[in-house]
Amino acid sequence: MSQKEIGTRVMSDTNTAGSTGAVVSLSEQAADEVRKFFAAEGLDEKSGALRVSVLPGGCSGFEYGLEVDEEPAAEDDLVVESQGVRLLMDPFSAQYLAGIVIGYHSSFKGSGFTFENPNATGSCGCGTSFSV
């Protein structure tokens, strides 16, 4: 998989246990949903990126944040490419997101992104907050 240097650090999902450490990855279905959000914002895979963040809050101490972005917000933002989608992370968030798989679930009860985080020691029932 090709890498594009956007910020000062670039990571790729082709080697999840390499010298850069484990990286964030998207399932194929999650990547398709992200592309739909990009299209709604008038962006494509080259001009759009998904910012993945960890924020204080939620039932368990931290919660996940996802938003459509175009460029890194700072020089030290990390850039990961997964399933052809650029993901942006600040260094604080990246330490809690290493190895995470972001999926997408759709059912009659509801739809949304899911997070499989190997760093989490606990999570709430809704699955959007976690503790480490």
Ramachandran quadrant class, 127 (left: phi over 0; alpha: psi -120 to 50; beta: rest): left
Mean pLDDT of all residues in 104-115: 89
What residue ranges define each of the domains in the chain, with the CATH number in brackets?
Answer: 9-131 (2.60.300.12)
Q: Return all residues near 89 (Cβ < 8 A) that are at least 6 apart.
A: 24, 51, 52, 53, 77, 78, 80, 97
Kindly report, residue by residue over 118-129, the tens digit of the pLDDT.
877 766 665 555
pLDDT above 90 (res 78) = yes
Query: Taking the model in full, what pTM does it have?
Result: 0.75
* DSSP conformation class of 48: -
Mean pLDDT of all residues in 12-38: 71
Alpha carbon distances (Å) from 82 to 42, 108, 123: 20, 28, 25
Say whether 21 sits in a helix, a strand or coil.
coil
Mean pLDDT of all residues in 26-38: 95
